[in-house]
Amino acid sequence: MKEASKAKGSKWRHKLVAISLVMGFVLLALYTKVYLSSQSEYRKAVEASQRQEVKTAITHYQRSIQWYAPLNRYVVDSAQSLWKIGQGAEGRGDGELALEAYRALRSGLLSTRSLYTPHAGWLERCNERIAVLEAAKRPTSKANQGKSFEERKAERLHLLRKTHAPDPFWSVVLEVGFLGWIGGAVGFIFQAITQEGRLHRRKALGWGGLIVICYALWVIGMAWA
C-alpha cells in the first residue's frame, strides 16, 4: 500500500511539473512574440525616420508601444521618440504633425491598459499638449467662437482625461478565464487521456467542463472589461 501510495504521489508530482513546464513555455513564447514584434516595429520606425518619412515612423512607433510587455525597453524608446517628434514639430510651428505624434503616443498607451495603465505619466503630458494645440485652432462652431482659449483648453483637457479605463473586476475575470482555459486544456491532455490513448470519461467531463466555463469567463470578461 505504501509503495503504491508513493508511486501515485510521484506520478502526480511528475504531472504537475510537466503542466508547469508547458504553461511556462506557453507564457515565455507569448512574451517572446510580443517583445520581438515591438522590437521589429521600433526598428522600422527608426529606418523610416532616417528616410525622413516622419508619418510612417509615427505609425510604427505607435505599433511598437501597442506590443507592450513588462520590461520592454522598446515601448519606452518609442514613447520618447514620439514625444520628440511632437516637440520638434511644435518648435517648427507644425501643429498638425505635433498633434499626430501626441495622439499616436496617447492612443498607443491607452491600448495597453489592463488592470493598470503602463507608463501613465506620458498620458497627462500628451493630454496637456493636445488640449493646447486643439484650443489654439480657430473655432469652427458658434458655441466655441465666444469662448476664450483657456476655456476651450479646459474643456478639451476634461474630455481627454475621460479615458474610460477597463473595469478592474471584469479585467480580473478575463485574466482568470484565460489562465483557467489554458490550465484546463493542459489538464485535459495529461489527466483525461490515458497512456494507452483512451479517454477517461469522468476526468474528461471534469476538465472539459472547466475548459468551457473558463472560456466563457474569458469571452464575457473581454466583452465587459
pLDDT digits (tens, 9 = 90+) for 84-109: 999 999 999 999 999 999 999 999 99
Longest dimension (CA), the chain: 89
Delimit the domains of the chain by residue range: 31-160, 168-224
pTM (2 d.p.): 0.70
Extract the C-alpha cell encoding 202: 469522468
Percent of the chain with pLDDT over 70: 92
Torsion angle (degrees, nearest 10) of CA 26, 28, 33, 39: 170
Torsion angle (degrees, nearest 10) of CA 108, 110, 114, 116: 110
pLDDT tens-digit series, residues 183-197: 888 888 888 887 777
CA-CA distance, 55 to 179, in Å (whole number)?
A: 38
Res 1 pLDDT > 70: no
CA-CA distance, 128 to 197, in Å (whole number)?
A: 62
pLDDT tens-digit series, residues 130-157: 999 999 988 777 777 778 899 999 999 9
More confident residue, 188 or 79: 79
Place of cell 529606418: 47
CA distance readout (Å), 152 to 107, 113, 132, 148, 183 = 21, 28, 9, 6, 51
Extract the C-alpha cell encoding 165: 479605463
Confidence bin at 66 (pLDDT 50/70/90): very high
Confidence bin at 129 (pLDDT 50/70/90): very high
Extract the C-alpha cell encoding 203: 476526468
Q: Residue 182's closest CA among 147, 223, 215?
A: 215
Q: What is the pLDDT of residue 7?
A: 56
Place of cell 516637440: 87
CA-CA distance, 34 to 69, in Å (whole number)?
A: 7
Confidence bin at 200 (pLDDT 50/70/90): confident
Give the SS3 label for residue 68.
Answer: coil
Q: What is the pLDDT of residue 95?
A: 95
Confidence bin at 222 (pLDDT 50/70/90): confident
Q: What is the pLDDT of residue 199?
A: 84
CA-CA distance, 47 to 161, in Å (whole number)?
A: 33
